Amino acid sequence: MSDNGHNPYNPIPMHIVRAYYESNDRSLKTFELVFDHQKDCDQFFSKYNPGQFCQLSIFGKGEAPFGIASAAWEGEFVRFTVQKMGSFTKYIHNLQAGDPIGMRGPLGNGFLLDDWKGKNIVIIGGGCAFSTLYALTKHVHHPKHRPDFEELIVIYGARTSGLCMYKHDIETWYQRNDMQIHQAIDVPEEDWSHHVGYVPDVLKDVAPSPQNAVAVVCGPPIMTKYTLPVLVDLGFAPEDIFTSLEKRMKCGIGKCGRCNIGSKYICKDGPVFSLAELNALPADI
């Protein structure tokens, strides 16, 4: 064993307490996990920061990285929303409350909340990548944290209303007087009273001020690609625009080599980078 007596490759034993479909096409499913041992729980929450991710582990199936979708104050559980893509996520989708699961984390740097104190926060998300932004919004909502930040603006787009995640909770955000929420879907639907259109266009309409503000963008590559220039046009400096990156990963702790862009490892140096940092990296994405 290493000096600190901990093998970072060992999965932490957990159980699923809640599992429910997030989208009406059943492609997105949310899982809430609790720790089997209190010391693992304490250790996790002593380190956890929104924007971080975990490796979920299933013996016989392997591991894959997922962003954390819960804030620490919500309780002693960890939430993940998993999109069914390949064999591993298909297997996870079949798990139910009571099933055991392994987890390694929290991993990565997370959002730079200390640097953002006293600023307006503009959160821009698309699709299932909104999960870590949901954790960030929840974090900011807590009465203890809310005074640390100024205005909170959330823009969240999905292809259809059926693919909108965390619906019931987000509907309550419209009643809050300490934030703005703008939801958008790509094409009009009956009974949809919010924005219709792509996220970059909604962002143009909302036009948040860059004064004393940071913008956080997470979404599919195509959305991010067209959203970043809009923010730059609005006057956001590259140092104040943040995004979270994804790459194929194995170890999650900067050893196995594969998730680098230039000399940065997404797992260890990221996944959150400022646009200024990204601009300094080679085009290896």
Partner 1 sequence: MMYILEKKNVDQTLSEWSAKYEVYTPQKVEAYSQFLPFTESSELALNEPLNTRYPPKSLFLPQSEVMLKYNKRLNKFDEIKILPEKRIIFGIRPCDASAITLLDTVFDTDEYQDPYWTERRENTILVGLGCSEPPSTCFCTTVGYGPFNQDGLDALMTELDDVYVVEILSDKGQKLFSNFPASSKDQEQSVLNIQLKAKDLMEPAFETENLKQTLDQLFESDYWSEIAESCLGCGICTFLCPTCFCFDIVDEVQRNERIRNWDTCMFRIYSQEASGHNPRPTRAERTRQRLMHKYSYWLDHIDKIGCTGCGRCVRHCPVGLDIRAMLRAASNFEREVVNVG
Positions touching partner 1 (CB under 8 A) are 1-4, 7-11, 13, 59-64, 85-86, 89, 100, 102, 221, 246-248, 250-251, 253-258, 260-263, 268, 282-285
In the complex with partner 1, which residue's Cβ is closer, 100 or 229?
100
Q: Taking the complex as a whole, how short is the minimal distance between the CB of residue 255 and partner 1, in angstroms?
A: 6
Nearer to partner 1, 161 or 260 (CB): 260
Q: Strand, helix or coil at 248? A: coil
188 touches 162 (CB < 8 A):
no
CB of 175 to partner 1, least distance (A): 36
Residue placing its CB nearer to partner 1 in the complex, 196 or 281? 281
Give the Cβ contact number of residue 178 at 10 Å.
Answer: 13
Which lies closer to partner 1 via its Cβ, residue 85 or residue 97?
85
Sign, Cα dihedral of 80, 111, 64, 103: negative
Q: CB 118 → partner 1: shortest distance, Å?
A: 29
Whichever of 63 and 240 has its CB closer to partner 1, that residue is 63
CB 105 within 8 Å of CB 54: yes
Query: Could you tell me where the DSSP H helices lie in the chain?
Result: 38-47, 87-93, 113-116, 130-141, 167-173, 199-206, 221-234, 266-269, 275-279
Nearer to partner 1 (CB atom), residue 1 or residue 187:
1
DSSP code per residue over 172-238: HHTT-SS-EEEEEESS--TT--SEES-HHHHHHHH----TTEEEEEES-HHHHHHHHHHHHHHT--G
CB of 263 to partner 1, least distance (A): 4
CB of 115 to partner 1, least distance (A): 20
Contact 48, 106 (CB under 8 A): yes
- Report the side by side order of strands in the sheet with 12-21: 62-67, 53-58, 100-107, 12-21, 28-35, 78-83
**Is residue 108 within a helix (H) or strand (E), and if so which, with residue range?**
none
Q: What's the CA gap between 243 and 187, in Å, rounded?
A: 25
Residues 6+ apart with CB under 8 A from 249: 55, 65, 256, 258, 259, 266, 267
Shortest Å, Cβ 243 to partner 1: 16
Q: From the CB of 111, what's the least distance to partner 1, in Å? A: 19
Q: Of 147 and 221, which has the nearer Cβ to partner 1?
A: 221
Minimum separation from the CB atom of position 282 to partner 1 (A): 5
Nearer to partner 1, 89 or 180 (CB): 89
